[in-house]
Amino acid sequence: MSKINAHILKLISLYTTKELSEAEFDELKNWLNEAPENEVLFKDLLFLYKKSRQISFADYVDKDKAWNKIISRLENPLIQVVEKKEPKVFSMRNRWLKYAAAAIVVGILTTTYLFRSNLFTKPIDATPAFVNANIEAGTNKATLTLEDGSVVVLKKGKAFHRQNATSNGKDIVYQNTEKDPAKIAYNYLTIPRGGQFSIKLSDGTQVWLNSETKLKFPVAFVEGELRQVELVYGEAYFEVSPSTAHKGARFKVFNKSQEVEVVGTEFNIKAYKDETNVYTTLVKGKVDVSAQNKKQKLIPNQQLNLDLKSKTLIVSTIDVYDEIAWKEGIFSFRKKSLEEIMKVLSRWYDLDVQFANPELKKTGFNGIIGKDQKIEEVLETIKGYGIIKDYKITGKTMILK
């Protein structure tokens, strides 16, 4: 990528945060007028992220940190179309469009100077094939099962208060009211398809829960003893309160396939019921993963892939950003097959996906998708790059052609 492209991206970032000077704005406008493709790329960006002003979990996004991540990746070229290999991988129109799209995480694009200058007045032709469909992007919602078996619905705009827990409709916070409970009581937080939620456990550990996820956790931990929760299924990102704040007590996350023990760190676990692989991705600190009668240490930027069919453990070094972007309000796909991508989207939009041509499953796609985009926007983008010829949605079933 040339220096000018990186510089333009920085101007876009300043523009989105309303910190662009008059001279810098003139420079950006001149770049837009230099070539028709520049305008096209910017229009694509507006189309893809026109609703990104309400990014989920926005309170947790460190914008400066996100921008630094983008800049650090500018010199790493994305995979374009891969010839003579399966699956084929398509990028988003060209290399820097993805980085420009990612810049929206830094500052949400607003319709100010450029929109008022009538640069983008041509409507985008999108005619999605929907039949009796009411498809909405996912939102903050969950069900809380209390120790007595009663169920509480948690959702946006609905407050919940209990002696030891409070929810504002997008997260729930537990207070450590019992230093040494005589009996440990457990609650369950279940996230449906089309949902997301976060929870702060009584020890201060923060957990973000993705769609179709269930977490079992104690209402209060015993001071000084092992802190333990169960990821029954699904995907969760853990920011663990350090053991030094809890008399040396370690923290353990387990499910039916493995155990992850930590002192205090940040990591992601993906363990869905309908998948045959469990992925543990370490962002900060150290963890010990126990599975198949083996124990494996991970360091930051490493991922352990537990294959439940072959019963093997594979550790690889990865770009963790792509794995954890979901909690920051976006899906980041790199060298993923269309089948893998649609599995993620089916959970978020609460859709069942069918492939009219099974070969489509192998086709890959690189790109960034805002979690609050309409499904038709996503599908029209994929269709526009020739990855699919058409699609149809009837009720809650989507057919890709």
Instruction: Give the CATH number for residue 395.
Output: 3.55.50.30
**Sign of the C-alpha dihedral computed for residues 273, 277, 282 and 288 taken in this order:** positive
Residues 6+ apart with CB under 8 A from 203: 176, 221, 227, 241, 245, 246, 251
% pLDDT > 70, the chain: 70
Asked whether residue 173 is domain-assigned, the answer is yes
Asked whether residue 272 is domain-assigned, the answer is yes
The reply to whether 284 and 312 lie within a common domain is: yes
Higher pLDDT, 49 or 119: 49
The reply to whether 333 and 318 lie within a common domain is: no
Question: Which residue, 323, 353, 383, sits at the end of a domain?
Answer: 323
- Which three-class secondary structure string do you get for 214-279? EEEEECCCCCCCCEEEEEEEEEEEEECCCHHHCCCCCEEEECCCCEEEECCCEEEEEECCCCCEEE
Max CA distance (Å), the chain: 72
Confidence band for 115, pLDDT divided at 50, 70 and 90:
very low
Looking at residue 41, what is its pLDDT?
Answer: 63
Inform me whether the pLDDT recorded for 87 exceeds 60.
no
Inform me whether the pLDDT recorded for 58 exceeds 50.
no
The reply to whether 189 and 51 lie within a common domain is: no
The reply to whether 171 and 225 lie within a common domain is: yes
Q: What is d(CA 290, CA 259) in angstroms, rounded to the nearest whole number?
A: 5
Confidence band for 310, pLDDT divided at 50, 70 and 90:
very high
Looking at residue 202, what is its pLDDT?
Answer: 93
The reply to whether 176 and 205 lie within a common domain is: yes
Whole-angstrom Cα Rg for the chain: 22
The reply to whether 186 and 308 lie within a common domain is: yes
H/E segment holding residue 145: strand 139-145
Q: Which domain holds residue 254?
A: 139-323
Higher pLDDT, 152 or 386: 152
The reply to whether 17 and 104 lie within a common domain is: yes
Q: State the first-to-last Cα distance of the chain, in angstroms, to the nearest integer.
A: 34
Looking at residue 179, what is its pLDDT?
Answer: 63
Asked whether residue 131 is domain-assigned, the answer is no
Inform me whether the pLDDT recorded for 52 exceeds 80.
no
Asked whether residue 133 is domain-assigned, the answer is no
Chain mean pLDDT for the chain: 77
Higher pLDDT, 329 or 186: 186
Asked whether residue 134 is domain-assigned, the answer is no
Kindly give the residue spans of alpha helices, DSSP state H, lying in 156-221: none
Q: What is d(CA 50, CA 377) in angstroms, rounded to the nearest whole number?
A: 10
Asked whether residue 130 is domain-assigned, the answer is no
Question: Which residue, 323, 348, 375, sits at the end of a domain?
Answer: 323
The reply to whether 287 and 175 lie within a common domain is: yes
Q: Lowest-pLDDT range, 65-69, 109-113, 220-224, 261-265?
A: 109-113
Higher pLDDT, 172 or 116: 172
Asked whether residue 237 is domain-assigned, the answer is yes
Question: Which residue, 276, 303, 323, sits at the end of a domain?
Answer: 323
Inform me whether the pLDDT recorded for 370 exceeds 90.
no
Higher pLDDT, 50 or 117: 50
Asked whether residue 298 is domain-assigned, the answer is yes
Q: What is d(CA 139, CA 118) in angstroms, rounded to the nearest whole number?
A: 33
Confidence band for 119, pLDDT divided at 50, 70 and 90:
very low
The reply to whether 318 and 335 lie within a common domain is: no
H/E segment holding residue 316: strand 312-317
The reply to whether 143 and 15 lie within a common domain is: no
Bridge partners of 261? 252, 288
Looking at residue 83, what is its pLDDT?
Answer: 30
% pLDDT > 90, the chain: 44
Instruction: Give the CATH number for residue 241.
Output: 2.60.120.1440
Which of 61-65, 178-182, 227-231, 372-376 ranks highest by mean pLDDT?
227-231
pTM: predicted TM-score of the whole model, two decimal places: 0.70
The reply to whether 82 and 185 lie within a common domain is: no
**Alpha carbon of residue 79 to chain centroid:** 21
The reply to whether 317 and 369 lie within a common domain is: no
Inform me whether the pLDDT recorded for 220 exceeds 70.
yes
Confidence band for 120, pLDDT divided at 50, 70 and 90:
very low
Q: What is the mean pLDDT of residues 366-391?
A: 82
Nearest to 126 by CA among 349, 377, 371, 345: 377
Q: Cis peptide before 181, with omega less than 30 degrees from 0? A: no
Tell me how many domains the chain contains: 2
Going across the sheet that includes 330-337, the strands are 89-90, 364-370, 330-337
Residues 6+ apart with CB under 8 A from 191: 141, 142, 197, 209, 210, 211, 212, 213, 214, 234
Q: Lowest-pLDDT range, 82-91, 113-122, 154-163?
A: 113-122
